[in-house]
Structure 1
């Protein structure tokens, strides 16, 4: 049975921080496809009970930014692969913090100080609307081995 919360509780925050993988989902306002992308690395920051920052690397398309500029809707999802079964979704309204803006620079310096700016495309700022926990009984057990380095390696070649 699903349970909804208004904010990110300390228990939920701890679960999120212990995961190696999360998914980001957005959709266009009108015609077009839903975009769901797996994400890794240490690119997510939880600021209090109702705000998330997500640092976005360069990569393939830029659907997340395009969709947020259209309708602001975004969903994050985490699955427990190693411990007790759980699926966690955070529903939010987001905005794009573009490079070259004061908001982008201050958030990068304050919350992502270990990242080289040349490898960052933008930062997404999310206001949490609701949080949903569900059973996750169908999620398989899998063990985390290590982060892939290819994206980081390719991004560092950017000038």
Structure 2
């Protein structure tokens, strides 16, 4: 049976720190629902009701488009080893781009990742746990470096061009504002 909490406990914060993958869900009232797996060293807990995650360049930019129109976001962690657990964080998110005043402060929480394009700042209003007893065991064998290698090869100019070509809008044509908010003058 699922349980609900107003904030993250120290136990849940420790659980999050051990995870290698998390899933992000966003949608607007009139868009497709997007669920995206995230990895790398890209997630930080700032306090019991606030988390941030560093978003790197990828094939789409759905979360950014959605959150700029409707701030709802759900983040899910799932135990693939040890005791079963599903942990969901519900709240209102905002997108921070490189040109935003708090980019530097929040970016300082992360080791730099090639292709970094946004930070998502989630104010948590509900934490929910559920059993996860049907979730299979999986063994973590390592990170994939493919995306980081790709971003390094692209370089800053190549990433900007990729954003212009591939990341300007969602699959439902919702603008992401990535180019104008990430290119420093």
* TM-score bracket for this pair, using the shorter chain length: over 0.9
How far does residue 28 in structure 1 lie from its aligned partner after superposition? 1.8
2:27 equivalent in structure 1: 27
2:160 equivalent in structure 1: none
* 1:25-68 CA-partner distances (Å, limit 9, x unpaired): 001222x2100011111101100110001100000111101110
1:143 aligned to which of 139, 142, 149: 139
* 1:117-155 CA-partner distances (Å, limit 9, x unpaired): x62111011100100000101100110000000011111
Matched position secondary structure for 2:134? coil
In structure 2, distance between residues paired with 1:104 and 1:68: 17
TM-score by length of structure 1 reads 0.94
2:162 equivalent in structure 1: none
Deviates more, 1:77-86 or 1:99-108: 99-108
Matched position secondary structure for 2:23? strand
Unaligned runs of 5+ in 2: 157-185
Alpha-carbon RMSD: 1.1
1:49 and 2:22 correspond = no
2:112 equivalent in structure 1: 115
Deviation beyond 3 Å, 4+ runs, structure 1: none
1:127 aligned to which of 111, 123, 134: 123
TM-score by length of structure 2 reads 0.81
Name which one, 1 or 2, has greater alpha-carbon Rg: 2
**Structure 1 contact 29–67 (Cα < 8 Å) conserved:** no
Q: Which has the higher strand share?
A: 1
